[in-house]
Structure 1
Amino acid sequence: MKQRVWIYCRVLSHSHSYLLNYQEDKLFSFAKQKNMEIIGVTKETNSGNSFQRYPIIQLLPYIKTNRIDIILVDNLKRLFSNEDHLYEFSLLCEYYHVSIIETQSS
């Protein structure tokens, strides 16, 4: 059975929006190479400081109802720039048996 993956891309500002496509292409290639099933993609332009962001809220039902196995990111900082929020989100994912895989080291 293929692993179900959600691709998550984020940049800080619109001036960096060209990097969203770069992240998406890189993560798509990684997922295809690993024979993963891509369930969804998030492309966000935001500081990543808050847990109450629409893209995160949109992702939560997929995590909580076991519709994905993996969240795929270029770098963990793409999910949250705030380490406390990243830790809290990681615990939530762990509780629901969803892995977070980064394709580049921090």
Structure 2
Amino acid sequence: MYDRALFGDKEAQYHLGLWLALGAFGPPDCKAARQLLARAASDEGGTLWVYSPPVGNGTAGRVIPIDNGPRQTGLTRARDALDHPAFCPQEGVSLSDIGAKEP
């Protein structure tokens, strides 16, 4: 799952973030959990429009499209988990309290 999360799989980022927050692999790591959930919640890919200034030979500047791969919409439940008051608890709160499945 770590490899999938590293390469942009939003579902893997979401689940790994929740598991890290709850300490499924050792002590809870809230910083890493927040980073993963933020990546899962963010939109990625699509077309990025970049301004290219004139090159000095009398041509005008222009705007060119850069393809950043397929557009991926962020996960709403990742945003909800980040905003939930029970996010990153030390003890006593189950994953089901924030809408996730146990690891």
Q: What's the TM-score, normalizing by structure 2?
A: 0.29
Q: Which has the larger radius of gyration?
A: 2
Q: TM-score, normalised by structure 1?
A: 0.28
